[in-house]
Chain A
Amino acid sequence: MAVAPAITVLFWLSTATLMIGLARRARLWRAGQRAPVEWAGLLAVPKRYFVDLHHVVAREPYIANTHVAVAGGAVAAILLVALNYGLAIYSPILDVAIVLAALVMVAGVFFVWQRRRHPPKRLSRGAWDRLPYTLALFAVGLLVVIATPAQYLSAAIASVALFFLLAGSAELVLGIGFGAPMKHAVAGLLHLAFHPRPERFSGVRSTALKPLELEKMELGVDAPADFRWNQLLSFDACVQCGKCEQSCPAFAAGQPLNPKKLIQDLVCGLSGTSDANYAGRPYPGIAIGAHSGALDNPIVPQLIEPATLWSCTTCRACVEECPMLIEHVDAIVGMRRSLNLTRGEIPGTAPEILANLRETDTQGGYPKPARYNWSIDLDVPQAVPGKPFDVLLYAGEGAFDMRYQRTLRALVRILKAAKVDFAVLGGEERDTGDTARRLGDEATFQRLAKENISTFATLKFSRIVTADPHVLHSLRNEYPALGGHYVVVHHTALIAELMEQGRLSTATLTNGKPLTYHDPCYLGRYNGEFEAPRAVLRKLGATLREMERSGPRARCCGGGGGAPLTDIAGIQRIPDMRMADVREAGAEIVAVACPQCTAMLEGVAGSHAEVLDIAELVASALEVPA
C-alpha cells in the first residue's frame, strides 16, 4: 500500500510549507511597534475561541453551524492525519475517525457552497468564492484516499485523489504565506492569543483609548509599521464577512467609509500591495484599485483617503459586530492622531473647535463661567474646596446649548426633589477633552484631563454624575490612565437608583404616546449600560417600542467622534436614518440620554418624533410634595 506513505510525505510537506508561510507573515507583523503581550494568551485560545468569538458568530446561526462543521471537521481530520500518518501509525481505526471528520467537513462545505451561490452583498467575493471548491477538494481527496479499500484503489484514482488532496492542502497551508483567505485561520487564532485588549476576554467592556506618550514623541500611526505588532496581526485575522460594513452608520449614509475595506487596506499596507484585488464593496464614492501602501510609507493619502478616517463616528458598532474581535476604532483614532499631531490636517470646523479647546477650555469658545448660566435661577450649589458634598454634577459642553439646557434644568429639579447633596464646578469646569481625543488631539486631551484631575483633587465628593455619556466615558474609563480615579454615574443610572430607593415620587406619564429609547453609543456599547434608562422609562409607565437596532446593536445618531465637526459629505444624514428607525418603531416620542443624540435628532428636518431626554420625562412626571 503506497498511498499511506504518500500522505505522510504530503502531511509533513504541508506542515513545513505552513511554517515557512507563517514565518514570512510573522516577519511583516514584527515590523510593528512593541506591545505588551502575555505568551500565556496562547493557552487561553481555546476558551477565547469557543466562548468569546463563537458568542459573536452565533448571532447568525446558519454560518455559525456551517463553520463549526467545516472548521471542526477540517481541524479534527488534520489532527487525526497528523497522528495516524504524520507519526506513521497507519491505524485503520483512526482511518475511520478521519473519514467521519472528513464527512462532517463535506457536509459543512455544502452549506458554504449554498451560501456562496447567492451571497449577501456584505460578503467579499474574489478569492473567497473559490473556498467551497478547494475545501471540497481537500475533504473529498482525503475521503477517497483513506476510505477506498486498497483493492479498489487503482493507481489512476489514487493519483487523482492525491492531487485533490494536494490542491486542497495548498489552499490551507499557502494562505498564511501568501495572504490568501485561509490566513484567517492561523492569524485569527494568534490574534485571539495576543489581542490588543485582552481584558475583553474577562468580560470587561474595554473601550478606553490608550494614551500616547507624547514626551517620547509617540504621535500616532503615520505608516503601517507604526501600529503595534499585534494590531497588524489583528488586521490579518479579518474574514471579510462585512458585518462591520452592515452596521457602520457612515457607510449606510454613503460617506466614504467601509470598516471592512479599511481593515483590508491596512492589510495591503502591511503586505505592500495595492487594493486592486479587494473584491468587496468599496468606500462609497472611492474607486478600487487606485491606492496602495507599504509598511513604511505614510498611509494617508496613498493608501487611505483622509475623508475615510474622518467619517467615523467612533460608535463601535463595527467592533461590536466583528466575529474576529478586531478593533477598528483604535486603528482609526491611531491614524487620526498622526494626521492631527504631525500634520494638523483636519477637515470642517474641527480645527476651530480644537483651537477653542486650547484657548478657552470649551469647544464653542465660550467663557467658562457662562457654562452654568442656565442654572442662575435654580440656586445650584457651587463646589468649594473644604466643603464636602456627595455628588458632583458635571454638565459638559451641552450646557452651552439652549436645547440641552432644558435637560440640565430638568435634571437639577430631579436632584433637588430627591434631596441629593450635589454641587457643580461652575466656572472651574473645563471640557473633558473627549472630543479632542476622538479627533486625534491627544495633547489637548491630556492637558485638559490633567487640569481637571487637579481641580477634582481640591474637592471632596463621593461621585460624579453627568448627563453626557461622552463625559462619562472619558472620566470613568480614560482618566484612570492619567491618574484620575472616580466613581462616575450617568444621570439615568442615578435616577433609576433614586427611584429604587423611593426617593423620587413620580406619576405615570399622562399623554400615553408610544415611546422608544435611543441608546447612546457611549453609554451602551462603550459602558454596557442598557438597563437603567429602560428601567426608568418602565417606572414612568411607558410602554417601550424597541427599534430594530437597539441595545448593543443600536444605530449611532451620527454625533460621536467629532463627526459633526469634520462633517464629511454623504448621500444621506445619519440622524435622518435613525429618525426613520424611530418612525418604523411607531414611536411618537424618542427618549434620549445624551446631548449629542439630542442635538443630532432634534436637527432632523421635517416633522419627526418628539425628542425628550429621560431627565425631562422624569421631571415632567415628578409629583410635587404637598
Chain B
Amino acid sequence: MGDVPSVAALVSAGRHPLTGVPRACRGDAVAMALGRALAGEKFALFHIGSVDEPSLRDYLAYGADKVEVIPANKGDVDINAVADVVKNFDIVLTGTRAEVAAGSGMFPYMLAHAMACPVVTNALDIRVDQSDTGTNVVISQFLPKGQRRSIASATPLVIAVHPFAAATLKYAHSRRVSGTINVIGSVSAAPARQPSWAVEAAPRRPVRLKAAEKQAGHARLLSAIVSEAKGGVVAFEGTTVDKAQVVLNYLREHRLVDF
C-alpha cells in the first residue's frame, strides 16, 4: 500500500433549488475538493448518468481534471455495478444528499452495503494516518448543535461528506473549458431504486390572520413579564350578519383585509 490512499468521489447532477439551473451539487463538490486534497494524483471522479449532463462541467471548473462518466439511465442503476467500478479505491467519497430526484440520502449506505465495507456519514474532515498495521482513516463527524465526533476506520470505506466540510471551492472558467469528460464502461440496468412513495401535492394550510402589534419596544418587553388579558370581543348578540360585521370590522381595523 502506498503512502497516499487512492480516493474516488461519486458526484451527482446538481440543480439550483430556486431556478433549477444545472450546477455542481454543493455537497458533492465539497466531497470532490476533500478527495483531491487527500489523494492528489490518486484521485478519480465518477458520475453515473448521462455524459451530456450539463452540471458536470461545473465539477471541472471546481478543480477536477476529468470526470469519468458511467452511462446509465436515470434511476435504474445497479448498485453492485457501481461498487464494481470503485472497488479498487481505498476511500469512496459521496455527498450527503442529491439535489435532484428523491434525494433520500440512501446512496452511500447502499454503496457501502454492496461493497461490504463501513460507511461514515456527515464527515467534516478526513485525515489519513499511515501505520505498520495499515491505513487508518480518522474522520471528524458532524453532529447537531456544534458537537463533533471523531471516528477511525480501516480502508476501504465509504464516506459521505457533510456540506459544511471545510473545503474552499475555487471556480475557474478555464478549467471548465479545458477539463475532459470521459465515458467508461457501463452499468447494467437494474430495477429502479426509487422508493415506492406516493407523491401528492402539499396541502396549502390556511394562514391565520393576526393583527400586527403596534407597541413600542419597551411595552413589548414589559408585556413579557406582566400577564395581561388581551382585549377581544365576544359577539353573542344579533344576527349572523351582525356577527360577521364584527369580524369584518376587526379585520378592517387591523388592515388585514382591504375591502
Q: Which residues of A contact B (CB under 8 A)?
A: 214, 217, 219, 340-345, 351, 354-355, 358-361, 365-368, 441-443
Contacts and interface: CB of A to CB of B under 8 A. Distances in A.
A336 to B, nearest CB: 13
Nearest to B169: A351
A601 to B, nearest CB: 26
Given A219-B173, A358-B21, A358-B23, A344 B61 contact: yes
Contacts of A214: 173
Contact of A360 (B18, B61, B62): B18
Nearest to B26: A355
A344 B16 contact: no
A355 B29 CA distance: 13
A359 B171 contact: no
Contacts of A359: 16, 19, 21, 23
Secondary structure of the A contact surface, majority rule: helix
Contacts of A365: 18
B171 A351 contact: yes
A355 B171 contact: yes
B173 A360 contact: no
Given A359-B16, A360-B18, A367-B18, A342 B23 contact: no
B19 A341 contact: no
Interface centre among B18, B19, B63, B173 (most CB of A within 10 A): B173
B56 to A, nearest CB: 15
23 contacts: A214-B173, A217-B177, A219-B173, A340-B172, A341-B174, A342-B172, A343-B170, A343-B172, A344-B61, A344-B63, A344-B169, A344-B171, A344-B175, A351-B170, A351-B171, A359-B23, A360-B16, A360-B21, A361-B19, A366-B18, A368-B19, A441-B173, A442-B173
Given A217-B177, A359-B16, A360-B16, A344 B21 contact: no
Interface string B147-185: 000000000000000000000011111111100000000
A401 B18 CA distance: 19
Contact of B171 (A219, A354, A367): A354
Contacts of B177: 217
Contacts of B174: 217, 219, 341-342
A341 B173 contact: yes
Most chain A beta-carbon contacts within 10 A, residue among B16, B18, B61? B18
B170 A345 contact: yes
A199 B176 CA distance: 36
A442 B177 CA distance: 14
Given A341-B173, A342-B172, 11 more contacts: A217-B174, A219-B174, A344-B61, A344-B175, A351-B170, A354-B171, A355-B23, A355-B171, A359-B21, A360-B21, A442-B173
Nearest to B18: A367
Interface of B: 16, 18-19, 21, 23, 61-63, 169-177
B21 A341 contact: no
Contacts of B62: 344
Nearest to A443: B173
Nearest to B178: A217
A461 to B, nearest CB: 26
Contact of B172 (A341, A367, A442): A341
Contacts of A441: 173
B9 to A, nearest CB: 18
B37 to A, nearest CB: 15
Q: Which 4 A-B pairs have the closest CB atoms?
A: A344-B170, A344-B172, A359-B16, A443-B173
Contacts of B61: 344
A351 B26 CA distance: 13
A231 B222 CA distance: 67
A309 to B, nearest CB: 16
A341 B173 CA distance: 5
A358 B209 CA distance: 38
Nearest to B58: A358
- Most chain A Cβ neighbours within 10 Å, of B23, B171, B177: B171
B167 to A, nearest CB: 12
A282 B19 CA distance: 46
A367 B23 contact: no
Nearest to A367: B18
A360 B171 contact: no
A359 B61 CA distance: 14
Contacts of B175: 342, 344
A412 to B, nearest CB: 20
A463 B169 CA distance: 41
A340 B175 CA distance: 11
A577 to B, nearest CB: 32
A340 B171 CA distance: 8
Nearest to A361: B19
Contacts of B21: 358-360
Contacts of A341: 172-174
A366 B16 CA distance: 11
A344 B170 CA distance: 5
A333 B163 CA distance: 32
A182 B212 CA distance: 73
A264 to B, nearest CB: 29
Contacts of B170: 343-345, 351
Contacts of A342: 172-175
Contacts of B171: 344, 351, 354-355, 358
Nearest to A440: B173
Contact of A367 (B19, B63, B169, B173): B19
A323 to B, nearest CB: 37
A340 B61 CA distance: 11
Nearest to A338: B174
A427 to B, nearest CB: 11
A218 to B, nearest CB: 10
Nearest to A339: B172
Nearest to B15: A359
A329 to B, nearest CB: 21
A442 B176 CA distance: 14
Contacts of A442: 173
Contacts of A368: 19
